[in-house]
Structure 1
Amino acid sequence: MKSDFKKLIPTFSAQHGKFSLVTVPPLQFLMIDGHGDPNEAQSYKDALATLYPVAYTLKFLSKRELGKDYTVMPLEALWWSDDMESFTSARDKSRWDWTVLNMVPEWITGDHVETAKEAVGKKGESPLLETLRLEPLEEGLSVQTLHVGPYDHEGPVLEEMHSRFIPEQALDMTGKHHEIYLSDPRRTAPEKLKTILRQPVIRLG
């Protein structure tokens, strides 16, 4: 039986037009760090060209050697900047730092990842293999919502999340802005793109 963690982990779903307070379980991810506008930075293209081949190689390794099949999870990314306005009003992507993510099951180990990287490396088409790592991420209490539409239209939603909802709930932001891309932009019209927007928080007082 194939495991689909999008359906098994509740925090991989969110409601459009509603901010929800959720507790995200500890998970592990393939990760690659970078900086700059994802529409222009070669490093972002190289990161995706590395992340996906390793993710799919791990899936087939798991099925073949461990007898555990699963659906490859959607692309995710952490985003941050010295100036949070670059995410909301200014949307100055050239100032953004990022980590692209792909969740893998708990039974995947560092040795499995190294085996997958070695296999992918033989094809010579994944330029950032040396920087790809397996690492846990524990976000815990978080606010999230579902954004439907172009990525560049996220600003007002994030502004409302940061400036209204989080303060009203006596919360404070911690950690990094997190996006989960439920749609493939190569096959989905911009106005129909679905993206979970998440912000880890802590309770005040």
Structure 2
Amino acid sequence: MDNTPTRPSTSAEDYVKVIYDLQERGTGPVTISGMAERLSVANSSVSSMLRKLTDLGLVEHRRYGTVSLTEAGTKAALSVLRRHRLLETYLVAELGYSWDEVHDEAEILEHVVSDKFVDRIAAHLGDPDVDPHGDPIPSAEGDIAERASVLLSDAVEGTSGVVVRVNDNDPELLRYLADIGIGIGMTVTVVERQPYAGSVQIVVRARAGADERPRSLGLVAAEALWIEPGGA
């Protein structure tokens, strides 16, 4: 007899993952409109799905209120995030994918691979803590490492730190960052904030002792980068 817990449907997994991701990135309360924008669906579609998730005990949501995950919903979200982020890591490390290619591929694979398969990937890769975009990978037990970081867009002038995380939702943005030479592990210093011009002036150093390169980032890019202040 198979005692493996039944997974939520693909749609349910997508929704709890998005809710968790929005909570994790600290962009404010999770709302129906925010989820609709992220999922590229109508508000009515989100409302309908939230009612189903509430009935399943995965979500807490009151009409016109914010959205949050229950304990069961958080567990389901961490499970699918573990699959997604380990798959991204494997695709980059073993199959030569670039960091802008893996998100959509992992979106498909995360719903069909078994937890046993993903655990084998984790063991093969040496149980990595983060994926290629710096997103923390939950353990098989659902634990996730916390790392002190701030959005580059929120960093004050003079702040220096190491890039530890990049939002992976927009492949074009990832390609842009790669083209201008900004990636995980690089040190950045905020030289000047120009909020009315919609930009942040920074200098980037790829490694210790390397030359610093000035860069001007729009706020969309700056809002997609997390740095660990003082980590330089």
TM beyond 0.5? no
Counting helix residues as a fraction of each chain, which structure ranks higher? 2
Structure with the greater alpha carbon radius of gyration: 2
TM score, norm. by length of structure 2:
0.24
- Output the TM-score relative to the length of structure 1: 0.27
